[in-house]
Amino acid sequence: MLLDAIAVETISTRFAALSWQQRLAALSEWNESAVAFSTSFSFEDQAITHVIATQKLPIRIFTLDTGRLFEETHKLHQATREKYNIIIETYVPDAAEIEAFVNKNGINGFYNSIENRKECCKIRKVLPLQRALKGVDIWISGLRREHSDVRSNLGAAEWDEGNHVVKLYPLIDVSADEVWKFIKENNIPYNPMHEQGFPSIGCAPCTRAIAADEHPRAGRWWWEQGEQECGLHMVDGKLTRVKNA
C-alpha cells in the first residue's frame, strides 16, 4: 500500500468505526508498510505497547532516551521489556552534540532561553527521532485530543511532511479514564509518578508535578511563557507540544 497524504483521509474514515485496539490490529493488513510506534512510557503508550506485544502485531517499538529522564522512567522501560519479552529500540543523542551544547551553555543551559531549550530538545529528541523514523511508513503515537486545546481538531491520521510518514493516533478520541481502566484491568505496568501529580512525564529537569486544577501539560517547561513544545509533533504546520493553547 502506497502511503501518502491521500491515504490519510481513507485511514481516518476507516478508523472512526473501530475501537482503538482494533485500529492497531488493522495495521497488520498493511503489511507492506513499515510501521513503528514511539513510546515515552506514558500511561497511554503503555496501553498501546500492551496491545502490540500481547497480540504480536508487526509493529516496531522504539523510544528516545534523552539522557535526562527520571529514574522511574528507566525502571518502567526495563520492567516493560521484561514483562512482554520485547525489544524496545532505544535511540540516544549524539555524544559530540551533547558535549558541545553543555560546554557552551552549561549542563542545565536549557533554562536560560527558549532558543537553548529548543536546541536541547533538538539534540536530545528531534534528531534521534529522525534516525528512528528512517524507512518508516506509518508512525504510531499515543496522542489524545485531551492533551491540549491545539490538538482538539486532530484526526486519527495525518501526513507528516517533515518526516514523510503517516502519523496514526489510535487513542485520539479515547479519554484518560478509559485508558486507565484498560491499564488496571490488564495489569499493565505504569509509571508510579502518574499517581504523584505527574499526568505527563518527560525529562526530569523540565517536568514538575501539577495541582488538581491545572492543565495536564502545565508541568512541562513550566518556566516558559507562550511557546511550550519540543518539536516532535506537528499539526497543520504548528508544533503541538504545548501545554496551553
C-alpha angle 86/41/17, rounded to 5°?
A: 85
- Residue selected from 23, 50, 77, 117 as contacting ligand SF4 according to rule CB under 6 A: 117
Q: What is the C-alpha separation between 54 and 73, in angstroms, rounded?
A: 21
- Residue selected from 205, 223, 238, 244 as contacting ligand SF4 according to rule CB under 6 A: 205
Cell numbers given for 235: 499539526
Residue 41 touches ligand SF4, criterion: CB under 6 A: no
Closest CA to 36 of 130, 120, 123: 130
Q: Which is nearer to ligand SF4, 79 or 102 (CB)?
A: 102
List the interface residues with ligand SF4, window 48-107 (CB under 6 A): 66, 68
- Residue selected from 128, 142, 170, 202 as contacting ligand SF4 according to rule CB under 6 A: 202
Q: Side chain identity at 214, as an amino acid letter?
A: E
Residue 26 DSSP code:
H
Q: Is 145 in a helix, a strand, or coil? A: helix
Residue 120 touches ligand SF4, criterion: CB under 6 A: yes
Residue 126 touches ligand SF4, criterion: CB under 6 A: no
> Is 206 noted as a catalytic residue in this protein?
no
Q: Which of 121, 203, 206, 230 is catalytic?
A: 230
- Residue selected from 77, 125, 233, 243 as contacting ligand SF4 according to rule CB under 6 A: 125
Q: How far is the CB of 118 from ligand SF4 (least distance, A)?
A: 8
For ligand SF4, which residue has the nearest CB? 203
Cβ–Cβ under 8 Å, residues 89 and 132: yes
Stretch that binds ligand SF4, among 38-46, 116-124, 141-149, 159-167 (CB under 6 A): 116-124
Q: Which residues contact 164 (CB under 8 A, 6 or more apart)?
A: none
Closest CA to 27 of 166, 178, 172: 166
Q: Is 158 in a helix, a strand, or coil? A: strand
Residues making contact with ligand SF4 (CB under 6 A): 66, 68, 110, 117, 120-121, 124-125, 202-203, 205-206, 230
